[in-house]
């Protein structure tokens, strides 16, 4: 079973319905709860790689697991709303990193001498942006040793 198939299985096991549809012009996916039904809307046409799909699925599934959600329809023009969304997304991403990309997976590649993020990202089946976030997170937690 591939990593993406495992995410689909996780959604199924948690009664999360995955729907292929466009939610907005700016979001590739969204986690929603409507009438107690959990729905993950994903615009498959806007996703270009399997790594991107894996990261997006993991991030949106984590919103359901943690309960860290916000109103998608809210007007985000105020500083307070933007700050709230930013905090929620940051907290959620840290949970995604801990669950789906443990520090020892990254450390193992560093110890093998893999130096470039694009190589690590490809081997770990994640996007470079996600890997960079994970490396920064784990370095702040002193969970990665990178020889200089």
In a domain, 145, yes or no: no
Distance from C-alpha of 37 to C-alpha of 31, rounded to nearest angstrom = 11
Residue 145: pLDDT band (50, 70, 90) is confident
Which pLDDT score is estimated for 55?
Answer: 97
Looking at the 3D structure of the chain, how many domains does it have? 1
Say if 128 falls within a structural domain.
Answer: no
Stretch 20-28: mean pLDDT: 77
**pLDDT (tens digit, 9 = 90+) per residue, 53-69?**
999 999 999 999 998 87
The residue range of the domain holding 39 is 3-100
The CATH number linked to 58 is 3.30.2010
Residue 134 has pLDDT above 90, yes or no: yes
The pTM of the full predicted model, rounded to 2 decimals, is 0.86
pLDDT per residue as tens digits for the range 36-59: 899 999 998 999 999 999 999 999
The answer to whether 144 and 103 are in contact (CB under 8 A) is yes
Alpha helices by DSSP H, listed for the chain, are: 3-13, 50-66, 79-100, 103-111, 117-124, 128-140
Whether 49 is covered by a domain: the verdict is yes
Confidence of residue 32 (pLDDT cuts 50, 70, 90): confident
In a domain? residue 71: yes
The answer to the question of residue 127 being in a domain is no
Residue 34 lies in a domain: yes
């Amino acid at each position: 079973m591939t990593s993406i198939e495992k995410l689909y299985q996780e959604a199924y096991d948690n009664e999360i319905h995955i729907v292929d549809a466009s939610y907005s012009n700016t979001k590739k996916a969204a986690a929603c709860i409507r009438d107690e039904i959990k729905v993950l809307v994903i615009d498959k046409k806007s996703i270009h790689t399997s790594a991107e799909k894996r990261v997006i699925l993991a991030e949106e599934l984590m919103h359901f697991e943690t309960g860290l959600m916000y109103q998608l329809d809210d007007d985000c023009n105020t500083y307070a709303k933007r700050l709230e969304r930013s905090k929620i997304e940051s907290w959620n991403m840290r949970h995604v990193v801990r669950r789906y990309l443990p520090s020892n997976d990254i450390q193992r590649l560093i110890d093998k001498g893999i130096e470039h993020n694009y190589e690590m990202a490809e081997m770990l089946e994640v996007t470079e942006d996600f890997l960079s976030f994970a490396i920064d997170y784990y370095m702040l937690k002193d969970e990665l040793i990178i020889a200089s």
